[in-house]
Structure 1
Amino acid sequence: MKVVVMGAGVIGVTTAYYLAKQGAEVVVIDRQTGPGLETSYANAGQLSYGMSSPWAAPGIPKKAVKWMFMKRRPLFIWPLIDPVMWKWCAQMVRNCNEESYRINKGRMVRVSSYSRDVMPDLIDDTGIAYDGRQKGTLQLFRTAAQMKASKADQDILDEYDSPYEVLGRDACIAVEPALAEVRNKFVGGLRLTADRTGDCRMFTIGLTEKCAEMGVEFQYGQTIRSIAVENDEIAGVETEIAGRIAGDAYVCAMGSYAVDVLNPVGIKLPIYPVKGYSVTLPVVEDAFAPQSTIMDETHKVAITRLGDRIRVAGQAEIAGYSDRLGPHATDTVKHVIADLFPRGGDISKAEGWTGLRPMTPDGTPVLGATRYPNLFLNTGHGTLGWTMACGSGKAVADAVLGKTPEISMEGLTAARYGN
């Protein structure tokens, strides 16, 4: 079977790997000059199995209003005249209730837990290096109110058997010794012990090389114009340079841009880009740098150790498909690293980046089958594409090849949106 994968980010490449591993002939198409050059390029570096939760949660609308007025706010919504954006925001608000949160959380944990379980086998099989560490994530609370509010998260972690530790100030410092320098700026934390870290782009590049060795063909610089439909199935992918690229089956793994090619063929997905920012800076002194990932609960910013670098990422900007990196766009993430690890990295050498996260209003990715028998989806992962990449890639590859995925696809497909 020949399978055409649309997109060479971490989602598309992991899908290609699992297809090729099972004997499929695979062609991967991407408009960029290489793999992992968009959303996968400089994300937070977290494999957040314990923090796989939808943004749409009880109380979020009230918090969002408060965030909008913070000096270093985690959320910004541009007042665009964009009906699609406002419809997406309304759908997200409708998911901000206890019942929807638990349903959506359960679906997300199903995918992320599966990804956690299958990723070690992929690493063993390929031997790729990606600056990986297995030291967990420390959610850092600056106030007692934040620590008290985390009890709700702990209940859900218990429900899904996600291991964690509730830590006081001294215990947080024992896990992240450099925090001793700023011990008066936080009261405690929640440590998610199963979480891992790593450089998503390094992983994507390494896996691309392994895929090429397995016979996967990568066609870069190919902008996809449309999907061709004949006799109620997909006949090919129309590109600007190569023309039509045809196969027996097709996987759309185009992130935020999936809607551009899916809408015209009648697959309407509520995926909208949510812009995020990051900076990457060199470690100056190891003793004063983070050892794993710290999530600042106040600013919703993650600080992750990647070898001899520090990645600081966060913010949610709803501004359409803008990829502009303004002169002050990374001020918030720079503030957080300077505030918590003032001697850890060299901010003067920070490299700024921005990317578009493909968000669904319920937080759950869109995987698997569609109304067309030979078209499959692997998109809409939001901030958790790196976390869910291996699990969703393997599940979708199985579905493409006519096998029953090892996890239930109930609630994960486009059918939940009436497609």
Structure 2
Amino acid sequence: MKILVLGAGVVGTAAAYSLAKDGHEVTVVERHEIAARGTSYSNAGLVSPGDATAWASPTALRTFLRALYNHDLGIKVRLRFDPYFLAWSMRFLRQCTQERLRANTAVKLRLALYSRDCINAISDETGIGYDERRKGILYFFRSQQSLDTGTDNYRFLAEHGLPIEIVDRNRLVELEPGLAGAKDKIAGGVYSPIDQTGDSRQFVERLAAYCAEKLGVTFRYGTAVEGLDIEGDAVRRVMTSAGPLSADAVVISMGPESGLLGRRYGIDLPVYPVKGYTATLPLEDENKGPTMGGADEDQLIAYSRLGNRLRLASTAEFTGFDRSYRPSDYAAMFRTAKDLFPGAFDEKKAELWAGLRPMMPNSVPVIGRAKYRNLYLDTGHGHVGWTMACGSGRFLADLVAGRKPEIDPQGLVYKG
């Protein structure tokens, strides 16, 4: 079957790989001149089932409302006239119950655990390296109160299959010597030994090259998707800046732009962009940096060790499709990183970046057939797209082939 995949980020490229492995003739359409130049270019670098807790929760509801007037929080909401954001917010607020938090988190964790295995299987099969470290991730807290409160979500993840170890500050520094200088500022945390880290951009670029060279996948870079040509109950062609492209099936994996395209054709796809900021810094002294990934849960900053580089990530900002940033946006991030890893980096050498996470109100991605018999979705992965992409791609390939998926599809198959 001829399949068009719209988008060459980590989600679209992983889908192309799984579909091509099934023997389909796959073409990927990407508006940038190379793969992984949108959302997948720079993220926290965490492959993190331990971060599978859904955003929408009773606590998030309070934080979300505070963010309307307090812009110093890790979550920032810029008030503006945006009917789409208002509609998304209403859906988000309906998910902010304890019952929905647990249900959405269980689905995310199931996919995240599966996807982590898929990432490693792809890497082992193709020989792709991406500055990966399979050493686990630490999620730590500054105060005993936040530790006691914060571990509740991790205990729920443990009950649903995630191995964890709740650690005090001494055990934490034993696991991560890089935090020795900040030991007295940390109460304790949660260690997820099966979590890992890696550079998503390297992974996508190298997987795209492998798909093209070994699996015959065609990548049409510098080609913007302009619309769909619908005839009856099917997509007949995809209209692009390079002309119309025909296929037997189409997959939308366009990150935050997926919602813009989908709703033009009556598809209920409430994907909204949420901006995040990252900084990538060369380590001045590798012995002073972290040896694994981590997250400061009180300061809402995540980090990864990528080879001889340190990746920092922070903030969830609701500001539409604005990708702009200023040096001041990184001040809190650098303060926290210097506090954790003094002498490890020079912030003047940072590569700064801001990108948009494609968030669903319930934090669960949408995968499967949508409205038209040959149109599929694989999008809406939010802040853990890197974690869930490869599992989503394999899950999608099973749906396209009519096979029973390797994991329980409950809560994952699109029903819009």
Whether contact under 8 Å (2:131, 2:306) holds in the other structure is yes
Q: CA deviation at 1:224?
A: 0.6
1:77 maps to what in 2? 77
Whether contact under 8 Å (2:74, 2:314) holds in the other structure is yes
Whether contact under 8 Å (1:168, 1:189) holds in the other structure is yes
2:61 maps to what in 1? 61
Distance 1:175 1:20, change over 3 A: same
1:9 maps to what in 2? 9
CA deviations over 1:63-117 (Å, ceiling 9, x no partner):
3455677785201100111121122122112111111011111111121111122
Confirm or deny that 1:396 pairs with 2:369: no
Confirm or deny that 1:140 pairs with 2:136: no
Q: CA deviation at 1:266?
A: 1.2
Whether contact under 8 Å (1:269, 1:414) holds in the other structure is no
1:156 maps to what in 2? 156
Whether contact under 8 Å (2:63, 2:75) holds in the other structure is no
Whether contact under 8 Å (1:72, 1:332) holds in the other structure is no
Distance 2:65 2:270 in 1: 23
Q: CA deviation at 1:170?
A: 1.0
Whether contact under 8 Å (1:274, 1:357) holds in the other structure is yes
1:103 maps to what in 2? 103
Q: What secondary structure is seen at the aligned counterpart in 1 of 2:327?
A: coil
Distance 1:108 1:5 in 2: 23
Worse overlay, 400-409 or 58-67: 58-67
Confirm or deny that 1:250 pairs with 2:250: yes
Confirm or deny that 1:270 pairs with 2:285: no
Worse overlay, 114-123 or 31-40: 114-123
Distance 1:78 1:66 in 2: 12
Whether contact under 8 Å (1:77, 1:318) holds in the other structure is yes
Whether contact under 8 Å (1:368, 1:409) holds in the other structure is no
CA deviations over 1:244-286 (Å, ceiling 9, x no partner):
1111111100011011221121102111000000000001112
**One-letter code aligned to 2:175:** V
**One-letter code aligned to 1:238:** M
2:298 maps to what in 1? 298
Distance 1:67 1:226 in 2: 35
Distance 1:376 1:71, change over 3 A: closer
1:212-361 mapped onto 2 (5 Å cutoff): 212-213=212-213, 214-240=215-241, 242-361=242-361
Distance 1:253 1:371 in 2: 16
Q: CA deviation at 1:345?
A: 1.6
Q: What secondary structure is seen at the aligned counterpart in 2 of 1:89?
A: helix
Whether contact under 8 Å (2:271, 2:360) holds in the other structure is yes
Q: CA deviation at 1:118?
A: 2.2
Equivalent pairs counted in the alignment come to: 415
Worse overlay, 403-412 or 226-235: 403-412
CA deviations over 1:290-326 (Å, ceiling 9, x no partner):
1111201112110110000000001010000101112
Distance 1:343 1:177 in 2: 14
1:370-381 mapped onto 2 (5 Å cutoff): 370-381=370-381
Whether contact under 8 Å (2:68, 2:79) holds in the other structure is no
Taking structure 1 as the reference length, what is the TM-score of the superposition?
A: 0.96
CA deviations over 1:148-191 (Å, ceiling 9, x no partner):
01231233122212011111111111111121112221111111
Q: CA deviation at 1:412?
A: 2.0
Whether contact under 8 Å (1:72, 1:299) holds in the other structure is no
Distance 1:65 1:146 in 2: 20
Whether contact under 8 Å (1:374, 1:400) holds in the other structure is no
**One-letter code aligned to 2:355:** G
Q: CA deviation at 1:120?
A: 2.1
Q: CA deviation at 1:200?
A: 0.3
Whether contact under 8 Å (2:7, 2:29) holds in the other structure is yes
Distance 2:118 2:269 in 1: 28
Taking structure 2 as the reference length, what is the TM-score of the superposition?
A: 0.97
Distance 1:410 1:271, change over 3 A: same
Distance 2:180 2:109 in 1: 33
Distance 1:191 1:68, change over 3 A: farther
Q: CA deviation at 1:243?
A: 1.1
1:35 maps to what in 2? 35
**One-letter code aligned to 2:220:** Q
Q: What secondary structure is seen at the aligned counterpart in 2 of 1:150?
A: helix
1:409 maps to what in 2? 409
Distance 1:231 1:62, change over 3 A: closer
1:21 maps to what in 2? 21
Distance 1:288 1:70, change over 3 A: farther
**One-letter code aligned to 1:224:** V
Whether contact under 8 Å (2:364, 2:381) holds in the other structure is yes
Q: CA deviation at 1:12?
A: 0.4
Distance 1:297 1:69, change over 3 A: farther
Distance 1:118 1:96, change over 3 A: same
1:122 maps to what in 2? 122
Q: What secondary structure is seen at the aligned counterpart in 2 of 1:414?
A: coil
Whether contact under 8 Å (1:236, 1:247) holds in the other structure is yes
**One-letter code aligned to 2:160:** Y
Distance 1:287 1:67, change over 3 A: farther
Worse overlay, 184-193 or 58-67: 58-67
Distance 2:72 2:183 in 1: 21
Distance 1:152 1:386 in 2: 24
Distance 1:90 1:169 in 2: 40
TM-align CA RMSD: 1.4
Report percent identity of matched pairs. Answer: 39
